[in-house]
Amino acid sequence: MDQINGWVRGVTEDELNAKKETITGSYKVGLATTGGLAGQILRNTERGYDDAMLDEYPGIIQGMKLEEINEAVQKYIVPNKLVIVAAGSVDEKGEPLEK
């Protein structure tokens, strides 16, 4: 919950820039193979995007503004309305079982 509450308080410019670089870098690397390119074309087609989206996507990500991101997080992420789910074996108190 600490991470989620941090997002709701607002991400920083440095955090946003780092995430933009990660997303666009991974996207470009993914297009480097025939399979990766074909997969992205399929995803774009399934989402109703035209062929230009292959080239436009990195610019769209890089163009996102800090204020837009923080407003969207505050609008759609409401910590007290989240449902938290855990997977794995627990004891009667809900504590993880030892290995």
Could you tell me which residue, 33 or 99, shows the higher pLDDT? 33
For the cut 80, the answer to whether the pLDDT of residue 99 exceeds it is no
> Does residue 99 form part of some domain?
no
**Is 93 inside any structural domain?**
no
Give a yes or no: residue 91 inside a domain.
Answer: no
- Tell me if 50 is assigned to some domain: yes
CA distance 68 to 19: 14
What integer pLDDT is reported at residue 3 of this predicted model? Answer: 86
CA angle (36 as vertex; 30, 15 as ends), nearest 5? 25
Q: For residue 51, tell me if it sits in a domain.
A: yes
pLDDT confidence of residue 97: 86
As for how many domains the chain has, the answer is 1
Domain span including residue 76: 2-81
For 37-63, the pLDDT digits (tens) are 999 999 999 999 999 999 999 999 999
Task: Give φ, ψ of 90 to 5 degrees.
Answer: -135, 160
Q: Is residue 94 part of a domain?
A: no
DSSP-derived 3-state class of residue 46: helix
Query: CA-CA distances (angstroms) from residue 46 to 1, 49, 53, 83?
Result: 34, 8, 12, 29
Percent of the chain with pLDDT over 90: 72
SS3 of residue 96 by DSSP:
strand
In-domain check, residue 97: no
Is residue 88 in some structural domain? Answer: no
CA dist list (Å): 32 to 26, 37, 73:
10, 7, 32
Question: pTM for the full model?
Answer: 0.76
